[in-house]
Amino acid sequence: MTLLSSTLQAGDYIGFTFFTGYMSMLAASIFFFVERGQVLDKWKTSLTVSGLITFIAAVHYFYMRGVWLEEHVSPTQFRYIDWTLTVPLMCIEYYLILRPVKASSGMLWRLLAGSVLMLVTGYLGEAVQPERNVFWGVVSTLGWAVIIYEIYFGEAAKKAATSTMPSVQRGYAVMRWFTLVGWAIYPIGYMMLPGNLLSGLVEGVDLSKSSPVDLAYNIADAINKIGFGLVVYSIAKGATEEERGMANA
Ligand SMILES: *C/C=C(C)/C=C/C=C(C)/C=C/C1=C(C)CCCC1(C)C
């Protein structure tokens, strides 16, 4: 008898990460919304956006958890809907942090264009033409490269270097490190898809019970949504203290 159960089984480690993902995203959202009260008005929107990113993710994790428990398949549609909303919000975080040093809307549009290219082609490779996932993965990486170029060498990098606030300088360096190193977990997960470059690594895995790709994505989301939000929070807190210090001096 095959027992299709929609409760969490002892050995279902992927299921565990969907549950912890859901709960930690929710907790992070409450934290960011409550902490808005601790920073100067000009930094409040940054914390609101951090909270929205983790809140949108929490709702999607709720659904993804359900899909995984009931069907044991990758919730690819919910995954990409989540990313389509949250990745642009992360681009907006860059814009908000750099707005005091006069970042242009062109910078924001370049980040958004890179995100759209990265996510649309990633979806094509995962859900529409899985037999061509290597090709779509390469195109998607070009979108990511547009973002990396902008934050390391483009206008964003140049504007950040002109900031006189140590907390902004330091925080920006950590933000872009997340976008370079933390985001790299996603393409590594993608490369474990059947037929892709790292699929040999997960050859023995029973894909009806486990999903290495989802494990990678769930870990990456926790790091890049909660961790990234905390960096934004530390910039807002630090800048608030620096500005209050200047006002009192
Ligand atoms: C909160 C969600 C985030 C930060 C999602 C980020 C997603 C990526 C950086 C995905 C990148 C991909 C590639 C660079 C190539 C292969 C396909 C993707 C979409 C997994």
Closest CA to 233 of 26, 24, 49, 1: 49
The domain spans of the chain are 13-102+166-237
What is the pLDDT confidence band of residue 5, given thresholds at 50, 70 and 90?
A: low
Over residues 178-209, the pLDDT tens digits come to 999 999 999 999 999 999 999 999 999 999 88
Q: Check if 86 has its Cβ closer than 6 Å to any atom of ligand 1.
A: yes
Atom 2 of ligand 1: nearest residue by CA position:
83
Over residues 85-137, the pLDDT tens digits come to 999 999 999 999 999 999 999 999 999 999 999 999 999 999 999 999 999 99
End-to-end CA distance of the chain: 75
Residue from 79, 81, 133, 183 whose mutation best tests the ligand 1 pocket (most atoms within 8 A of CB): 183
Atom 13 of ligand 1: nearest residue by CA position:
187
Within 8 A by CB and 6+ apart from 237, the residues are: 35, 38, 39, 167
Q: Check if 217 has its Cβ closer than 6 Å to any atom of ligand 1.
A: no
DSSP 130: G
Q: What is the pLDDT of residue 246?
A: 85
Q: At 13, which amino acid appears? A: Y
What is the pLDDT confidence band of residue 1, given thresholds at 50, 70 and 90?
A: very low
Say yes or no to pLDDT of 77 above 90. Answer: yes
Question: Atom of ligand 1 at shortest distance to CA of 119?
Answer: 19
Q: Check if 141 has its Cβ closer than 6 Å to any atom of ligand 1.
A: yes
Over residues 119-133, the pLDDT tens digits come to 999 999 999 999 999
Residues in the chain: 249
In CATH terms, the fold of domain 13-102+166-237 is Rhopdopsin 7-helix transmembrane proteins (1.20.1070)
Sole residue written with tokens 């060498």:
153
Q: What is the pLDDT of residue 7?
A: 84
Give the rounded percent of residues in the chain with a pLDDT score beyond 70. 98
Q: Check if 186 has its Cβ closer than 6 Å to any atom of ligand 1.
A: yes
| Contact (Cβ atoms closer than 8 angstroms) between residue 53 and residue 89 | yes
Question: Atom of ligand 1 at shortest distance to CA of 184?
Answer: 9
Q: Check if 118 has its Cβ closer than 6 Å to any atom of ligand 1.
A: yes
Atom 9 of ligand 1: nearest residue by CA position:
183
